């Protein structure tokens, strides 16, 4: 399952390709709207196909993988163009707010809080439906309901106002601009950090999922309820950041949040070793508490990451570079999943066998310490650009001058 989900998530790791195309090639004079519509249509078709596939008894894994890839591609394509819109507005907010080197401006933080607060509300709705239908509904019904989400996105995209822009640049020019941007230390250092932060830590998510169902006997309803609580924690994290964390240096946020995540990761080890039972804490209560705190802290690190990503985007390739940031982080998660899948058998963690899971979890916690040493090395020189150009014509003229 870890392999299947890691491969299915690969479209998230090549988001710069979609960003390059959308930045360089407007459709009918529009750079964002047509691609949002295309992504929504692809998502609806993918999930409806999965719904009908689930009714068969013999499911071809290659077809299943292809549909999962298409469903991820649809969301990633839409996500790239939304990210580009956020990056454009964040750049303006950073310029107006006089962004410093180490903190986000009020406008940048408010924009990210709005976006991710909205995601939290949508996630709560989806998780609530999942909790209500975890055991009673068929996969056909679940996938069909899921197909409604991209259909709603299609409606939103159709209503989206966007100014026409008839200027098209070559993809080659966009690639040149992107490479030029990536050579800057203020861009490639954060990129390296966000990749290594995930890639150096093996994922044990699927092992813990099966341990929860096979050994701890967590029900589907409880697992769905954890999803609801996760989005509540996500929303709480947004509120905590906007009220108490905003204005603190980025490096401090990442360092102390990562240190806290190292400590919280030991909760899984406590759960597997049944130490929580020795302390009189039920499995369900311990799991909920540990996951909720981890979600809140994870949210605290997400916002500065997004502010940094939006801030360093040069004009004209917002979609490509912001997507490069996001896909680098996503690729780090994919590498983490492959890393975890590869080493699990060496720790004795295979299907139905969890004897080596404590050692695997201890190894993961040790790996989570490594990013602490990278914070002050890689997260430097994050000030907002001092100059912004507004049109692709100016970008083209600048590139020609450089040539």
Q: How confident is the model at residue 308 (pLDDT cuts 50, 70, 90)?
A: confident
Q: Give the residue among 6, 352, 337 at the shortest CA–CA distance from 210.
A: 352
Q: What is the pLDDT of residues 293-303, one digit of tens each?
A: 887 787 777 76
Question: What's the pLDDT score for residue 196?
Answer: 92
Q: Phi and psi (nearest 5°) for 220?
A: -60, -35
CB of 303 closer than 8 Å to CB of 113: yes
For 92, other C-beta atoms within 10 Å of its C-beta total 15
> Any idea which residue has 């699927």 for tokens?
206
For the segment 347-357, the average pLDDT, to the nearest whole number, is 84
Q: Phi and psi (nearest 5°) for 30?
A: -120, 135
For the stretch 55-78, what's the b/e string if a residue is b when 16 or more beta carbons lie within 10 angstroms of its beta carbon?
eeeeeeeeeeeebbbbbbbbbbbb
**CATH number for the domain running over 2-159+171-402:** 1.20.1250.20
Q: How confident is the model at residue 3 (pLDDT cuts 50, 70, 90)?
A: confident
Of the chain, the percentage scoring pLDDT greater than 70 comes to: 83
Quote the CA–CA distance of 211 and 353 in Å, as a whole number: 9
Question: What's the pLDDT score for residue 202?
Answer: 92
DSSP string over 15-30: HHHHHHHHHH--BTTB
CB of 23 closer than 8 Å to CB of 87: no
For 283, other C-beta atoms within 10 Å of its C-beta total 17
Question: What's the pLDDT score for residue 352?
Answer: 77
DSSP string over 32-73: SHHHHHHHHHHHHHHHHHHHHHTTSSS--HHHHHHHHHHHHH
Q: What is the pLDDT of residues 155-170, one digit of tens each?
A: 988 888 877 765 656 6
DSSP string over 299-319: HHHHHHHHHHHHHTPPTT-HH
In this predicted model, which residue has the larger pLDDT, 397 or 51? Answer: 51
> Any idea which residue has 């962004």 for tokens?
99
In this predicted model, which residue has the larger pLDDT, 171 or 12? Answer: 12
Question: What's the pLDDT score for residue 387?
Answer: 42
Is a pLDDT exceeding 60 seen at residue 395?
A: no
Q: How confident is the model at residue 365 (pLDDT cuts 50, 70, 90)?
A: very high
Quote the CA–CA distance of 194 and 277 in Å, as a whole number: 36
For the segment 94-108, the average pLDDT, to the nearest whole number, is 58
């Amino acid at each position: 399952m870890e392999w299947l989900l890691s491969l299915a998530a690969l479209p998230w790791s090549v988001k710069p390709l979609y960003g390059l195309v959308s930045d360089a090639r407007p459709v009918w004079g529009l750079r964002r709207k047509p691609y949002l519509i295309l992504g929504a249509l692809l998502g609806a078709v993918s999930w409806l196909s999965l719904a009908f596939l689930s009714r068969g008894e013999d499911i071809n894994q290659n077809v299943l993988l292809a549909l999962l890839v298409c469903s991820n591609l649809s969301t990633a394509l839409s996500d790239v163009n939304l990210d580009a819109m956020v990056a454009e507005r964040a750049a303006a907010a950073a310029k107006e707010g006089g962004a410093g080197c180490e903190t986000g401006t009020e406008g940048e933080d408010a924009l990210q809080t709005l976006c991710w607060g909205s995601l939290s509300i949508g996630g709560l709705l989806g998780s609530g439906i999942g909790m209500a239908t975890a055991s009673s509904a068929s996969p056909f019904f679940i996938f069909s309901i899921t197909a409604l989400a991209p259909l709603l996105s299609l409606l939103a995209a159709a209503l989206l106002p966007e100014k026409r822009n008839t200027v098209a640049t070559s993809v080659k020019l966009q690639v040149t601009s992107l490479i030029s941007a990536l050579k800057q230390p203020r861009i490639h250092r954060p990129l390296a950090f966000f990749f290594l932060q995930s890639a150096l830590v093996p994922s044990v998510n699927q092992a813990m999922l099966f341990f929860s169902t096979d050994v701890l006997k967590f029900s589907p309803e409880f697992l769905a309820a954890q999803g609801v609580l996760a989005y509540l924690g996500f929303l709480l994290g947004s509120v905590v950041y906007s009220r108490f964390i905003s204005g603190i240096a980025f490096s401090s946020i990442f360092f102390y949040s990562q240190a806290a995540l190292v400590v919280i990761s030991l909760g899984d080890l406590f759960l597997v070793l049944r130490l929580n039972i020795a302390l009189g804490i039920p499995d369900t209560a311990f799991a909920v508490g540990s996951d909720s705190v981890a979600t809140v802290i994870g949210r605290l690190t997400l916002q500065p990451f997004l502010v940094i990503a939006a801030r360093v985007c040069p004009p004209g390739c917002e979609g490509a570079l912001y997507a490069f940031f996001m896909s680098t982080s996503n690729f780090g998660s994919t590498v983490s999943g492959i890393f975890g899948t590869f080493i699990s058998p060496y720790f004795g963690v295979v299907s139905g066998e969890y004897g080596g899971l404590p050692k695997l979890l201890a190894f993961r916690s040790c790996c989570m310490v490594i990013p602490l040493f990278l914070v002050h090395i890689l997260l430097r020189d994050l000030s907002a650009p001092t100059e912004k150009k507004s049109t692709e014509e100016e970008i083209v003229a600048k590139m020609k001058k450089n040539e």
